[in-house]
Amino acid sequence: MNYIDQDYDKLIKIIILGDSCIGKSSLCNSLSGINFQHSYVSTLGVDFFCLYYKNNSKTFKLQIWDTAGQERFNSIISSYFRGAHLAILMIDNSNYKSFIRMNYWLKQIDNYAKKDIKIMCLINKTDLEAGIDRQEIIDKMNSIKLPFLFISVKENKNINSIYDLIYSQIKDLPIEEPKKDKIIKVNKNDKKCCLIM
Ligand code: GDP
Ligand code: MG
């Protein structure tokens, strides 16, 4: 992972998903600590930060989105999913319920994300006593063909491998260059506009 100033070849939107308290924001802090560019909190209650990843002479700008806790109320807005190229689904290795809830998150992805979105899974908190049988996790991931990693954000375990897994998911994506926002007038008399992203 190299830090490069503004220039990039491809912009990749990555969304982090999963129940509250499984370590999503901790992961973002950990990742952003390496090549932190900026953090942004919008009025929509979404945090994101950017990392630059250079490989084979191509520079990827990874725009990583984290919720600001809305998952607690099952109220993640659909724009969170819009345009995402990769979803990182997290579960908590010490909490069986978070494993069961994977199905809910996969359904949300199916409902709101692009059909060709890539998905990978991180099983966090491996430093704690396991609440899920490891083989059960492996069988599930294989059955739904999700690439996955066991990690511990707290102990910094396998964090570097996350970049490799992200890269393996995004490297072949045909991604259009970032578009400019377009403003169009909806109605001449009524001076409202809408913003097309
Ligand atoms: P989020 O709600 O999914 O964003 O979860 P947070 O990042 O806020 O983390 C919830 C709690 O889990 C916090 O107390 C973290 O310190 C803790 N936590 C995060 N990652 C780990 C981990 O790998 N191991 C342990 N033991 N605790 C963790
Ligand atoms: Mg959080």
Tally of CB atoms within 10 A around 189: 5
Q: Give, using CA atoms, the residue closest to atom 18 of ligand 1.
A: 23
**Nearest bound ligand to the CA of residue 154:** 1
Mind listing the pLDDT tens digit for each residue in 38-94?
A: 444 444 567 888 888 888 788 889 999 998 777 776 767 788 999 999 999 999 999
* Sign for the pseudo-dihedral over CA of 47, 120, 24, 149: negative
pLDDT on residue 178? 54
Residues 6+ apart with CB under 8 A from 2: 35, 52, 53, 54
**Continuous segment of H or E residues that includes residue 169:** helix 159-170
Mean pLDDT, all residues of the chain: 82
Q: How far is the CA of 171 from the centre of ligand 1 (A)?
A: 29
Q: Whose CA is nearest to atom 26 of ligand 1?
A: 125
Ligand whose nearest atom lies closest to the CA of 26: 1
- DSSP string spanning 5-27? -S--SEEEEEEEE--TTSSHHHH
Rounded Cα–Cα distance for residues 35 and 38 (Å): 9
Q: Which residues contact 55 (CB under 8 A, 6 or more apart)?
A: 167, 171
- 94 CB under 6 A from ligand 1? no
Residue 19 CA, ligand 2 centroid: distance in Å: 9
- CATH topology assigned to domain 2-185: Rossmann fold (3.40.50)
